[in-house]
Amino acid sequence: MIDFSKVKLVVSDMDGTLLNSKGEISNRFFELFKKLQKRNITFCAASGRQHNSIVSKLDAIKDDIYVIAENGGVAKKGHKVLLSNFLKPEKVLSLIPVLRELKGTNIVLCCNDAAYIESKDARFISLFQEYYHSFQVVDDLMETAKTIPVFKIAVYHFDNSEKFIYPFVKHLNDQILLKVSGINWLDISDEKANKGNALREVQQLLNVNKAETMVFGDYHNDIEMMQEADFSFAMKNAHKDITKLAKFSTESNDNFGVERILEKLVRSL
């Protein structure tokens, strides 16, 4: 029996974790959120998604939660920006030509108010809108990157990002942060821009420590935030590296893995 009595902050990844395979959040979670709120436990959503996309999923509670978006590129409470980490423009401009050479990839520049793509692939555009609600299709991402600050470059491969993107950019690991953030996605960020650093900022604001933090995740972009919590849970559907790293495990995202643990948390308080 795990003693949850110290928990003051719950942090959850979105895709593959709080969201089911259809991209939905259960009513069960929203009911549990109310119970957590009554017990003065704070909730934080932490995702590689765009901020607008995250809050659209959590619209009913968006003013009451903390949001870490773009894998730690930005963190907000309501409209208040708590931190932001942009990629250096020269790095963005040097990376775009390299990524264009990779067959089967689609490039996304993740910026403050919108995401930018140059792909005309209708299948990708349809899929991409699930993660990026505010976006523009442009003729040349190089021109966009010259004038608009970029939090993150997200790269999508229809088959597998770990096999078909990562091997061709891993030599850049000492210059930028590379994260395989899902089966199809690889994210490129500033070295400081990860969910762990963003979570530490939230913890400091709330005066909460690792022993009082519970985290749920499933993929490599969750590694750093897993390390900031004594109660770290890997989903049953998690990448094997996350399963090894997490201190605990729970059911899959399609079997209410987050909700099951939150119910235990509520009962223990």
List, for residues 60-109, the tens digit of each pLDDT value.
999 999 999 999 999 999 999 999 999 999 999 999 999 999 999 999 99
Average pLDDT, integer, range 247-251:
98
Quick check: 190 pLDDT over 80? yes
* Cα 51 to Cα 111: distance, rounded to the nearest angstrom: 10
Average pLDDT, integer, range 192-196:
94
Residue 245 confidence (pLDDT): 97
Average pLDDT, integer, range 187-205:
95
Residue 1 belongs to a domain: no
Residue 209 confidence (pLDDT): 98
Give the position of tokens 């969750």: 222
For residues 203 and 183, membership in a common domain is answered with no
Q: Are 8 and 206 in contact (CB under 8 A)?
A: yes
Residue 245 belongs to a domain: yes
pTM: 0.90
Q: Looking at residue 103, which CATH number applies to its domain?
A: 3.30.1240.10
Q: Are 235 and 252 in contact (CB under 8 A)?
A: yes
Q: Looking at residue 72, which CATH number applies to its domain?
A: 3.40.50.1000
> Last residue of a domain, which of 126, 161, 189?
189
> Last residue of a domain, which of 140, 170, 189?
189
Residue 28 belongs to a domain: yes
For residues 174 and 244, membership in a common domain is answered with no
Residue 75 belongs to a domain: yes
Residue 174 confidence (pLDDT): 85
58 token code pair: 């959590």
For residues 34 and 155, membership in a common domain is answered with no
Structural domain boundaries, residue 179: 89-189
Other CB atoms within 10 Å distance of the CB of residue 8: 18
Q: Bridge partners of 77? A: 66, 80
Residue 100 belongs to a domain: yes
For residues 203 and 70, membership in a common domain is answered with yes
Q: What 3-state DSSP class applies to 202?
A: helix
For residues 181 and 237, membership in a common domain is answered with no
Domain count, the chain: 2
> Last residue of a domain, which of 170, 189, 208?
189
